[in-house]
């Protein structure tokens, strides 16, 4: 039986861990000395740990987690020791004593580690990934975040193959050894949980800069990449310096060590990892150059560099008590990186893109059998809980707390949090208590947001009393049941509202209404004429809002709201209503909507307004966003209604669109200023509208766009417009792209993705060719995502093809990946989990695919958990 298992009725299923069972670690491990001897066919790890009985603990049994290791020797206080039990991936020592040093030497095999957890090799470079439970693949230890230790690390390796040897903290020694080997020794003076441990050994080049902190100390900043990639690191370095500055200004947080390292590797399960002073990144989130990275890539690099840096305080200095508290660090750090990006770029655009992302991915998670609370109360495999809910909804919870407290009090509360908990492992409850203590507010109702899963619904209706000059807004909230949770309580919802008059002039600026009951009315005085309320400004709470606003009211908001987010939102609501109407009756008159689009195009031609916002206003909601509004999801029907409207826009406004396109064909030097990105975004959105009919003219226009491009954003836009095409230009452009960029792995990923999203009949044959392409490698997570995730997430029509071929593709990939990389396999299950919301025919086929995975045998606990919960 595998380690964490229990015997169910007649199948063996992995064991569930509960928050209510938390108990402090029985032993403290104040110091750990690690020695790594790296060889081509094995790595020897020696760990020496000082254990002292934890006065807060309630057991004297020391339990050490360990996985995929061969123990070579065990000693206590320098004497060989055999009095331990080794079973179920654990060493157990009963009555272990008050204080002793335990030394364990074991052998591990990074060279064959395809799970990419623990120590592994990426294109010849050794690297580690210890969050959440990877450290147990390196040595036997209490692998839990509430055990904090000072780490000393020595690394020995062949000098010519691995000239760079890094770990956390400060370099204390280095030198030569016999047989062409060398070593470095590192000390990290701040106690940390083992999930923040990191080691890198490789042949890498380094880009250097420095940052002067607010107290005048100089910090060396190093970015390590493979030789040849050094020309693509400048944006990451600038982003790091901006992040360090922003954290000082906005949160008063200074970096404490003298060195900050970033290492980029090609094989990585996630985006990046915040290991203390040695962040390890997926190359995708470090490398950026105009010729190889899109504007979206540039923004992601900036956001993720910031995210990992911000973890230094929110995650590392103050860490999580247990993994149920993951949102303590992730929700807070996402909120910090979103705010950073909003300050660096356009606040409205950032908010629109963040909310769009939340609705596409988190709302759908909430609507699935895998819905869970921001502070979940149980899990089987913690790797499955790095979710949109923990990250993105968690960030919305921090945003709401800032909204409720106001910026100044929120800052006092975070100061208190850092003061109180620096060097501690704490809970989400502790964080919210700081908000309560700094503000004097009772936050207990607010805390329900952490405990209750699901997206609340909010219904708003309004009443105007002409005589009293009063306007009343009535709000009703409801919380649907989610797995394991019924009869939920009403939440404290901050609803930001402003009022506009019929001329579109704001008469009442934003007020935050605090809703605490199921149903509540709020009255505004001194309202001279019937107003149009702008409700939930800035998306002040992560809810599904329905209002009684007419299309005309929405049109007024779209034109005149002072809140950039709600201006966009009003247009999206009109678009959603129009799509609904077309889905119900394809002959319905949509001329009003099409005319309104014409007005916006005209504004663009008159150079009025922000181009990035106009680009978003001219974009219809994505199929995945529309799907969230449907009782029964039929992707093909959504797509055909959406395409019908897009074609009508092109038919009616072709000339104006062409003019707008030409007006924005950027000239001059490439820049990633918000204005330059806005212009590209507008131009490329217009190109998409102009090529929606996929005829020969469209292909010629897209090819010309590609040929004239001086940057990757424009090239990718052209390829996306050609993806569905059957015109000869498609092949020409895709072939040119491949040959031009075949040496750039991240661009080859784009080449795979842009073909996987093709909504055309040839897709299944194309997919088979791509799968067998020499450059496809199932062991590389970026490549897997570029083919399979692109297909299953961004090609909803073909993934949900009535034949079931799309489902079969993903099913087979999951079964294959389960044995190679369980984390990546489990993530690929996501597109299946909402199966019950689709049409009966699609539902049946999706369920069959899930069942086939379940029956395929030897499932990892990662895949078992998501598939079994999806089927429930």
Active-site residue list: 308
381-420 residues near ligand 0A1, rule: CB under 6 A: 383, 386
Using CB distances below 5 to 8 A depending on partner kind, what does residue 297 bind out of ligand 0A1, Zn ion, none? Answer: none
Question: Which partner in Zn ion, ligand 0A1, none is near 865 (CB below 5 to 8 A by kind)?
Answer: none
User: Cβ closer to ligand 0A1: 131 or 356?
Assistant: 131
Does residue 270 interact with ligand 0A1 by CB under 6 A?
yes
The phi-psi region of residue 607 (left if phi > 0; otherwise alpha if psi is between -120 and 50; otherwise beta) is left
For residues 834 and 364, is the Cβ–Cβ distance under 8 A?
yes
* Rounded Cα gap, residues 131 and 119, in angstroms: 12
Task: Tell me whether residue 246 or residue 593 sits nearer to Zn ion (CB atom).
Answer: 246
**3-class state of residue 260 by DSSP:** strand
| Closest CB to ligand 0A1 among residues 285, 623 | 285
Q: How far apart are CA 647 and CA 724, in angstroms?
A: 15
Characterize the bridge pairing of strands 99-108 and 90-93.
unpaired
Residues in 325-384 at the binding interface with Zn ion, rule: CB under 5 A: 330, 333
Residue 384: is the preceding peptide bond cis (ω within 30°)?
no
For ligand 0A1, the closer of residues 168 and 823 by Cβ is 823
Nearer to ligand 0A1, 114 or 439 (CB): 114
Shortest Å distance, C-beta 338 to Zn ion: 12
Other CB atoms within 10 Å distance of the CB of residue 99: 12
Q: Of these, 38, 106, 131, 312, which contacts ligand 0A1 (CB under 6 A)?
A: 131
- Pattern 767-806, binding to ligand 0A1, x per CB under 6 A? ----------------------------------------
**Among residues 273, 413, 426, 829, the one that binds ligand 0A1 under rule CB under 6 A:** 273
Residues 6+ apart with CB under 8 A from 484: none
What's the rounded Cα separation, in Å, for the pair 262 and 129?
14
Q: Which is nearer to ligand 0A1, 113 or 129 (CB)?
A: 129
The DSSP secondary-structure symbol of 97 reads -
Minimal distance, residue 330 CB to Zn ion, in Å:
5
Query: Which positions from 800 to 829 touch ligand 0A1 by CB under 6 A, shown as an x/- string?
Result: -----------------------x------
CB closer to ligand 0A1 out of 312 and 462: 312
Compute the distance between CA of residue 854 and CA of residue 862 in angstroms, rounded to an integer: 12
CA distance 490 to 488: 7
CB of 279 to ligand 0A1, least distance (A): 9
In angstroms, the CA 676 to CA 515 distance is 41
Give 141 or 335: the residue with its C-beta nearer to Zn ion: 335
* 414 interacts with, out of Zn ion, ligand 0A1, none, CB within 5 to 8 A per kind: none
Window contacting ligand 0A1 (CB under 6 A); options: 84-92, 257-265, 271-279, 676-684? 271-279
Residue closer to ligand 0A1, measured from CB, 130 or 492: 130
Instruction: From 38-46, 322-330, 348-356, 358-366, give the range in contact with Zn ion by CB under 5 A.
Output: 322-330
Q: Binding string, 218-237, against ligand 0A1, x = CB under 6 A?
A: --------------------
How far is 143 from 414, CA to CA, in rounded Å?
28
Answer with the entry of ligand 0A1, Zn ion, none that 270 interacts with (C-beta below 5 to 8 A by kind).
Answer: ligand 0A1
- Nearest CB to ligand 0A1, comparing residues 326 and 532: 326
Piece in contact with ligand 0A1 (CB under 6 A), picked from 270-278, 394-402, 483-491, 631-639: 270-278
Q: Which is nearer to ligand 0A1, 17 or 622 (CB)?
A: 17
d(CA 553, CA 499): 11
Helix axes 745-756, 712-723, angle to 10 degrees: 30
Alpha-carbon distance 740 to 712, whole Å? 12
User: Does residue number 272 form part of the binding site for ligand 0A1 (CB under 6 A)?
Assistant: yes
CB of 399 to Zn ion, least distance (A): 16
Minimum CB–partner distance for residue 129 and ligand 0A1 (Å): 5
CB of 828 to Zn ion, least distance (A): 21
Q: Interface with ligand 0A1 includes 327 (CB under 6 A)?
A: no
Window contacting ligand 0A1 (CB under 6 A); options: 50-58, 163-171, 269-277, 587-595: 269-277
Q: Could you tell me the end-to-end alpha-carbon distance of the chain, in angstroms, rounded to an integer?
A: 24
Structure tokens belonging to residue 214: 């607010």
Cα separation, 83 vs 85, in Å, equals 7
Smallest gap from residue 329 Cβ to ligand 0A1 (A): 8
Interface with ligand 0A1, residue 200, by CB under 6 A = no
Nearer to Zn ion, 330 or 381 (CB): 330
Is residue 274 involved in binding ligand 0A1 (CB under 6 A)? yes
Nearest Cα neighbor of 730 from 753, 754, 710 is 754
Bridge-based pairing state of the strands 5-7 and 90-93: unpaired
Beta bridge partners of 153: 34, 186
Q: CA 837, 838, 842: angle at the middle one, nearest 5?
A: 145
Which residue sits closest to ligand 0A1, CB atoms considered? 270
CB of 244 to Zn ion, least distance (A): 17
State the DSSP string of 172-189: EEEEE-STTEEEEEEEEE
Q: Tell me which residues in 783-822 interact with Zn ion (CB under 5 A).
A: none
Decide: 475 and 463 in contact? Cβ < 8 Å: no
Q: 139, 269, 325, 368: which one contacts ligand 0A1 (CB under 6 A)?
A: 269
Least Å from the CB of residue 308 to ligand 0A1: 6
Do residues 749 and 788 touch, judged by C-beta distance below 8 A?
A: no
Compute the least distance from the CB of residue 429 to ligand 0A1, in Å.
Answer: 21
Residues 6+ away with beta carbon under 8 Å from 599: none
129: contact with ligand 0A1 by CB under 6 A: yes
- 25 token code pair: 């670690």
Q: What DSSP string runs through 351-367? A: HHHHHHHIIIIIHHHHT
Quick check: 150 and 189 in contact, CB under 8 A? yes
112, 57 in Cβ contact below 8 A? Answer: no
Question: Of all residues in the chain, what percent are helix, strand and coil, respectively (each to 5)?
Answer: 45, 25, 30
Sites for ligand 0A1 among residues 692-721 (CB under 6 A): none
Which of the stretches 8-16, 64-72, 129-137, 567-575 binds ligand 0A1 when contact is defined by CB under 6 A? 129-137
What is the per-residue DSSP string for 37-67?
EEETTEEEEEEEEEEEE-TT-S---EEEE--
CB of 319 to ligand 0A1, least distance (A): 11
CA distances (Å), origin 366, targets 179, 362, 468: 57, 6, 42
Q: How far is the CB of 787 from Zn ion (least distance, A)?
A: 26
Helical (H) or strand (E) element with 307: helix 295-310
Binding site for ligand 0A1 (CB under 6 A): 129, 131-132, 269-274, 307-308, 330, 383, 386, 823
Binding site for Zn ion (CB under 5 A): 330, 333
């Amino acid at each position: 039986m595998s380690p964490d298992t229990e015997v169910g009725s007649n199948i063996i299923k992995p064991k569930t861990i509960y928050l209510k069972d938390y108990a402090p670690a029985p032993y403290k491990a104040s110091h750990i000395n690690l020695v790594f001897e790296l060889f081509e066919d094995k790595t020897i790890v020696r760990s020496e740990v000082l254990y002292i009985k934890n006065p807060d603990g309630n057991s004297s049994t020391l339990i050490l987690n360990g996985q995929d290791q061969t123990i070579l020797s065990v000693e206590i206080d320098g004497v060989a020791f055999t009095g331990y039990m080794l079973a179920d991936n654990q060493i157990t020592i009963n009555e272990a004593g008050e204080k002793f040093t335990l030394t364990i030497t074991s052998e591990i095999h990074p060279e064959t580690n395809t799970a990419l957890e623990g120590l592994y090799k990426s294109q010849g470079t050794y690297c580690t990934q210890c969050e959440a439970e990877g450290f147990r693949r390196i040595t036997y230890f209490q692998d839990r975040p509430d055990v904090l230790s000072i780490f000393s690390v020595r690394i020995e390796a062949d000098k010519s193959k691995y000239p760079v040897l890094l770990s956390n903290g400060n370099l204390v020694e280095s030198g030569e050894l016999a047989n062409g080997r060398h070593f470095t020794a590192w000390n990290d003076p701040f106690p940390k949980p083992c999930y923040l441990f990191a080691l890198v050994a490789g042949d890498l080049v380094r880009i250097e800069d420095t940052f002067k902190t607010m107290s005048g100390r100089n910090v060396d900043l190093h970015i390590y990449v493979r030789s040849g990639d050094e020309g693509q690191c400048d944006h990451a370095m600038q982003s790091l310096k901006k992040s360090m500055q922003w954290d000082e200004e906005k949160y008063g947080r200074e970096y404490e060590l003298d060195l900050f390292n970033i290492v980029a590797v090609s094989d990585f399960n996630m985006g990046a990892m915040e290991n203390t002073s040695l962040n390890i990144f997926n190359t995708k989130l470090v490398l950026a150059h105009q010729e190889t990275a899109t504007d979206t890539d540039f923004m992601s690099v900036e956001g993720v560099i910031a995210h990992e840096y911000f973890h230094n305080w929110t995650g590392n200095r103050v860490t999580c008590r247990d993994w149920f508290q993951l949102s303590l660090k992730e929700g807070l750090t996402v909120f910090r990186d979103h705010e950073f990006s909003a300050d660096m770029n356009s606040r409205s655009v950032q908010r629109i893109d963040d909310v769009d992302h939340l609705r596409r991915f988190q709302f759908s998670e909430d609507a699935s059998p895998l819905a869970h609370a921001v502070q979940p109360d149980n899990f089987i495999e913690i790797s499955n809980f790095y979710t949109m809910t923990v990250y993105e909804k968690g960030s919305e919870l921090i945003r709401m707390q800032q909204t409720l407290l106001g910026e100044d009090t929120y800052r006092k509360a975070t100061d208190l949090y850092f003061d109180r908990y620096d060097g501690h492992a704490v809970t989400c409850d502790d964080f919210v208590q700081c908000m309560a203590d700094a503000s004097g507010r009772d936050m207990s109702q607010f805390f329900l947001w952490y405990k209750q899963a699901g997206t609340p619904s909010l219904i708003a209706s309004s009443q105007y009393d002409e005589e009293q000059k009063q306007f009343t807004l009535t709000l009703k909230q409801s919380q649907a049941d989610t797995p394991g949770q019924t009869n939920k309580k009403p939440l404290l919802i901050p609803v930001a509202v402003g009022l506009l008059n019929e001329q579109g002039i704001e008469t009442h600026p934003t007020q935050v209404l605090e809703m605490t009951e199921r149903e509540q009315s709020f009255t505004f005085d001194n309202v001279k004429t019937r107003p149009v309320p702008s409700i939930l400004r800035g998306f002040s709470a992560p809810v599904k809002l329905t209002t009684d606003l007419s299309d005309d009211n929405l049109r007024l908001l779209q034109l005149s709201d002072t809140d950039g987010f709600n201006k966009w939102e009003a247009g999206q609501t009109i678009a959603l209503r129009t799509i609904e109407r077309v889905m119900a009756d394809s002959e319905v008159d949509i001329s009003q909507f099409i005319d309104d689009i014409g007005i916006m195009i005209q504004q663009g031609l008159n150079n009025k307004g922000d181009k990035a916002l106009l680009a978003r206003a001219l974009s219809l909601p994505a199929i995945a966003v529309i799907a969230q509004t449907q009782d029964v999801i039929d992707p093909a029907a959504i797509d055909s209604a959406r395409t019908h409207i897009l074609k009508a826009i092109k038919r009616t406004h072709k000339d104006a669109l062409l003019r707008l396109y030409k007006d924005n064909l950027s000239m001059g030097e490439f820049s990633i200023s918000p204005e330059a990105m806005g212009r590209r975004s507008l131009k490329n959105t217009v190109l998409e509208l102009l090529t929606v009919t996929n005829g020969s003219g469209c292909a010629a226009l897209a090819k010309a766009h590609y040929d004239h491009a001086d940057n990757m954003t424009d090239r990718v836009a052209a390829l996306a417009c050609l993806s569905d095409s059957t015109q000869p230009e498609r092949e020409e452009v895709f072939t040119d792209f491949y040959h031009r960029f075949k040496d750039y792995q991240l661009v080859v990923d784009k080449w795979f993705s842009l073909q996987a999203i093709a909504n055309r009949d040839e897709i299944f044959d194309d997919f088979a060719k791509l799968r067998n392409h020499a450059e496809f490698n199932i062991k590389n997570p970026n490549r897997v995502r570029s083919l399979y995730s692109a297909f299953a997430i961004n090609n909803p029509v073909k993934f949900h093809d009535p034949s079931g071929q799309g489902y079969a593709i993903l099913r087979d990939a999951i079964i294959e990946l389960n044995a190679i990389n369980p984390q990546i396999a489990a993530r690929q299950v996501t597109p299946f989990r909402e199966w019950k919301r689709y049409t009966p025919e699609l539902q049946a086929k999706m369920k069959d695919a899930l069942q086939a995975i379940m029956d395929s045998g030897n499932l990892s606990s990662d895949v078992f958990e998501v598939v079994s919960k999806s089927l429930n």
